[in-house]
Amino acid sequence: MHNVLIIDDSDINLALIKALVLKLGDCSPTLFDHPLAALEWCRSNVPDLVIVDYMMPDMDGLRFISAFRALHGRNEIPVLMITANDQKDVRYDALLGGANDFLIKPIDRIEFSARARNMLSLRTGQKYLADRAEHLSALVDERTAEIREREKELIFRISRAAEFRDPETGAHIQRMAHYSQIIALGLDLSLDQQKLILEAAPMHDVGKIGIPDYILLKPGKLTHEEFEVMKGHAKLGHELLKDSRSEVIQAGAEVAISHHEKYDGTGYPYGLKGHQIPLFGRIVAVADVFDALTSERPYKRAWSLDDACKYLEDGRGKHFDPMCIEAFLAGWEHVLDIRQRFRDEDVPLI
Amino acid sequence: MERNMAVPFVLDKALILDRLGGDEEIFAMMVGMFVQDVDRNCETLATALASGDATELRREAHTVKGLLATFSDEAGAAEASIVEQLARDGHVADQAEAVAGLQQRLREIAAVLSAG
């Protein structure tokens, strides 16, 4: 059903046009004898066709069209202007001012029907295209979300592949990723950045894939040479992830290369200091160390929460960015919740 | 400025119906409305003239022009058009007779339609 808006200050013209519109079929006319009242109605209603007289009190048809076109979403709606036979200049102004076509008084039914139908066909086409564009946009969103989910899954599986070669567990990457998010929240990073670090943090140790088993799985203390090889996992991880078009993988590359840097410049691989270290690297450093300390490993017992917190406090400004420590401790209740949610014994597969 | 509606109104129903696609129903509705509104339309014209407001007189003359044209009264519509154009140029007070002529024409048509 097409909603046809008719505006004319003459009752007889309103009645005539209404009757002609009803003869078109599948149309519902809405009548106004005053253009300002019609304009008000148009603020909350969207007609499919506007038929407007030229000469009316307070606001002529040209000014009405201009005001109507200025309303949001009304730019494409077909408008027919009614003019007298001797108003050629008005018809030109109407066409230039946003009318799609015009009708000449006295109105001829055949001419009226043809022009009104043409305008309604135009409107039907516009609606079809708009619906199709909306449908396609929704489809693109859906497919993009699917790809993003697949990307997340692949990142998690790659991260776990590295963890499988390591005494650390799947639950470790879940916990340290969520701790990283807590710190990002405490630092007032945007929701997008919080989500990004949650997804990127699991990739911090992906470079361990390239470390030989005799070093990675060695139960005792590493020799100086072995430790140098082990330190290479930061660069290996970066090498593996860099130059990706994915924002998450780019962030993962940054985390991989920088999460062993220390605030005072004594970390590796580059010995960066303070804010030379990327923020995500400073955040993940806190999250990763805290979880490593408080987790049990074949070669060590889990530290108590108090001891782990003391370690972080002692490392403030040395190993760790003081702001990241503040943010982590400020989210302590969330930290405890995350420890409960992701236990070593019940590792979620994904 | 003296003008008389020289040509008496003759209802050309066939011509009007042709324009309305032969729709007797719409024709009857328009006739009914014209007859019903004739006094009000004459009054509105008089009020516009009395107001001295050229814009108002122009608009009312325009409306009457449309009404007369709807009933295929080309002579009447031409007179209304002259009033409209003169009002556009600022003439009001000197159009009393022409306005009276239009009022008379409206009533003449109403009488013909009522008799019809």
Q: Per residue in B13-29, pLDDT tens?
A: 999 998 888 899 999 99
- Whether B4 has a pLDDT exceeding 60, the answer reads no
Which of A135, A153, A182 marks a domain boundary? A135
Q: Per residue in B92-109, pLDDT tens?
A: 999 999 999 999 999 999
- Enumerate the domain spans of chain B: 21-115
Helix, strand or coil for residue A9?
Answer: coil
Which of A135, A153, A179 marks a domain boundary? A135
Q: Per residue in B35-65, pLDDT tens?
A: 999 999 999 999 999 999 999 999 999 989 9
Residues A226 and A121 occupy one common structural domain: no
Phi/psi of residue A341, each to 5°? -70, -35
In sequence order, what are the beta bridge partners of A3? A28
Instruction: For residue A278, give its domain range.
Output: 165-341
Residues A103 and A171 occupy one common structural domain: no
CB A53 within 8 A of CB A13: yes
Provide the sign of the torsion angle of the four alpha carbons B62, B63, B66, B72, taken in this order. negative
Q: How far is CA B25 from CA B30, B32, B69, in A?
A: 9, 11, 19
Residue B86 structure tokens: 């003169």
Confidence of residue A350 (pLDDT cuts 50, 70, 90): very low
**Whole-number Å distance between alpha carbons of A229 and A225:** 6
Residue B33 structure tokens: 């409305």
Say how many domains are in chain A: 2
Report chain B's C-alpha Rg in angstroms.
14
Which of A83, A116, A135 marks a domain boundary? A135
Which of A167-176, B31-40, B88-97 has the least mean pLDDT? A167-176
Dihedral angle, C-alpha A30, A120, A35, B43, nearest 10 °: -70
Residue in A with minimal Cα distance to B31: A12
At residue A167, the pLDDT reads 58
Give the number of beta-carbon pairs within 8 Å between A and B: 58
Residues A106 and A227 occupy one common structural domain: no
> For chain A, what percent of residues have pLDDT higher than 70?
97
Average pLDDT over residues A22-27: 92
Helix, strand or coil for residue A19?
Answer: helix
Average pLDDT over residues A234-248: 93
Kindly determine whether residue B65 and residue A84, on different chains, have CB atoms separated by under 8 Å.
yes
Residues A190 and A320 occupy one common structural domain: yes
Predicted TM-score (pTM) of this structure = 0.58
**Length of chain B as a residue count:** 116
Residue for token pair 């003019």: A83
At residue B1, the pLDDT reads 43
> Residue A153: inside a domain, yes or no?
no
Average pLDDT over residues A152-179: 80
B40 CA to centre of own chain = 12
Residues A191 and A315 occupy one common structural domain: yes
Residues A249 and A109 occupy one common structural domain: no
Residues A76 and A196 occupy one common structural domain: no
A11, A19, A108: residue with CB nearest B19: A108
At residue A312, the pLDDT reads 96
- Whether A328 has a pLDDT exceeding 60, the answer reads yes
Residue B98 structure tokens: 């022409």
Which CATH number describes the domain made up of B21-115?
A: 1.20.120
How many CB atoms are located within 10 Å of the residue A322 CB? 14
At residue A106, the pLDDT reads 87
Long-range contacts of A114-118 (CB under 8 A, 24+ apart): A115/A80, A116/A4, A116/A20, A116/A21, A116/A24, A116/A49, A116/A51, A116/A80, A117/A24
Residue A37 structure tokens: 């009242």
**CA count, 13 A, side-chain hemisphere, B11:** 14
Kindly determine whether residue A19 and residue B25, on different chains, have CB atoms separated by under 8 Å.
yes
At residue A349, the pLDDT reads 45
* CATH code of the domain covering residue A243: 1.10.3210.10
Kindly determine whether residue A12 and residue B33, on different chains, have CB atoms separated by under 8 Å.
yes
Q: Per residue in A96-141, pLDDT tens?
A: 888 999 998 889 999 999 999 999 999 999 999 989 999 999 999 9
Dihedral angle, C-alpha B87, B93, B94, B96, nearest 10 °: 100
Kindly determine whether residue A12 and residue B37, on different chains, have CB atoms separated by under 8 Å.
yes
Residues A87 and A208 occupy one common structural domain: no
> Residue A116: inside a domain, yes or no?
yes
**Whole-number Å distance between alpha carbons of B42 and B100:** 9
CB A311 within 8 A of CB A329: no
Residues A38 and A172 occupy one common structural domain: no
At residue B68, the pLDDT reads 93
- Whether A273 has a pLDDT exceeding 80, the answer reads yes
Residues A233 and A271 occupy one common structural domain: yes
Kindly determine whether residue B65 and residue A57, on different chains, have CB atoms separated by under 8 Å.
no
Residues A6 and A124 occupy one common structural domain: yes
Residues A117 and A190 occupy one common structural domain: no
> Residue A188: inside a domain, yes or no?
yes
Confidence of residue A345 (pLDDT cuts 50, 70, 90): low
- In 3-state terms, chain A is what percent helix, strand and coil (to 5)? 60, 10, 30
Residue in A with minimal Cα distance to B56: A57
At residue A8, the pLDDT reads 94
